[in-house]
Amino acid sequence: MPGTYEFVVKMWTNFFCKFKLFQVLFYLMKNKRQQEIRRDVNIQKKNTKYIICFYWTILVLYLAIIYFFSSQNGAKSHEVSAGLLQYLKVLILFIPGNMLEFLSGVVKNYEYVLRKTAHFTEYLVLALIFYKAIVVSSAKTKNSLKITLIFCFLYAVSDEVHQIFVSGRAFAVKDIIIDTAGATLGVSTIYLTKFIKTRRREQMRNEEINKR
């Protein structure tokens, strides 16, 4: 009996030792996995911060460019527009004769058209950049579209107010409308793109369900 008792005690002792060792190994493996997950999460957060900083830097630089051109006096602004117009005259070679004759009759002031087109385009691009910046900052899509349009409108107003203090420039409600129209087109393009992507995903999901 004593021998049997010692055998049983030894057997259970070995079992508990092995079980304890298994627990330790399991804990180490689990802890290592958790460390790997935390490291991956930290790397992802770090990369996200870099992306956020990148897009907001692009936005600030773009706003600075708009401010720079608005700070030019009337004579300098006219000189820049006229210079750009000279480069664009190369495009006349690719316009059919009938179309060129029509445009010449309709558009009397090419520089005026160029300046208003620039207003429209720069705020369209501003809407795209600003939207991307707030989206990567984890803003909600619906709110981000509204915020983008409001921001572009307010910046257009501030831009015109700024031009009151610039020689040869003036506050123009027409420019605010053109700027806002450009931003609206940018926001509409974003909304339409997201709508199309959502519909495609839904169609693909429905097709997979039907196949089953």
Top mean-pLDDT range of 62-76, 83-97, 98-112: 62-76
Mean pLDDT of the chain: 75
Residue 209 CA to residue 83 CA, distance in Å, equals 60
- Structural domain including 10 reads 2-211
Residue % of the chain over a pLDDT of 70: 58
Question: 168 with 77: CB under 8 angstroms?
Answer: yes
Q: Which residue has the tokens 């992802």?
A: 44
Angle between helices 74-88 and 110-135 (to 10 degrees): 100
Residue 140 CA to residue 103 CA, distance in Å, equals 44
Other residues' Cβ atoms within 10 Å of the Cβ of residue 170: 10
Higher pLDDT: 110 or 87? It is 110
Residue 18's pLDDT is 54
> Residue 183: pLDDT above 80?
yes
State how many domains the chain has: 1
> Residue 5: pLDDT above 50?
no
Other residues' Cβ atoms within 10 Å of the Cβ of residue 153: 17
SS (H, E, C) the chain: CHHHHHHHHHHHHHHHHHHHHHHHHHHHHHHHHHHHHHHHHHHHHHHHHHHHHHHHHHHHHHHHHHHHHHCCCHHHHHHHHHHHHHHHHHHHHHCCHHHHHHHHHHCCCHHHHHHHHHHHHHHHHHHHHHHHHHHCCCCCHHHHHHHHHHHHHHHHHHHHHHHHCCCCCCCCHHHHHHHHHHHHHHHHHHHHHHHHHHHHHHHHHHHHHHHC
